[in-house]
Amino acid sequence: MKTRRQRQKERKLLKKKKETRKQMLRKRAQIREEAKVEKEIEKIKHLSRDRLIPYRKPKDESEYTVSD
């Protein structure tokens, strides 16, 4: 037969384990999300590197307006 104090101790340990597990899973999910974002950024960089169009300053304002 376990005493009240022993049961309380066990409960506390279980709760602590559960919390650390939750934290670990949360951290793992966050790392996974960051890696996904990094991968997307790299993909965009590679795509834009091929089709990168340098900004060209217009010679005059007529390029902005539509002439009828």
Q: Are 17 and 9 in contact (CB under 8 A)?
A: no
pTM for this model (two decimals) = 0.46
| Percent residues over pLDDT 90 in the chain | 44
pLDDT at 46: 73
CA 33 to chain centre: 4
Q: What is the mean pLDDT of residues 41-62?
A: 66
Q: Is the pLDDT score of 4 beyond 90?
A: yes
Q: Is the pLDDT score of 67 beyond 60?
A: no
Q: What is the mean pLDDT of residues 5-16?
A: 92
Residue 58, C-beta contacts closer than 8 angstroms, at least 6 positions apart: 64
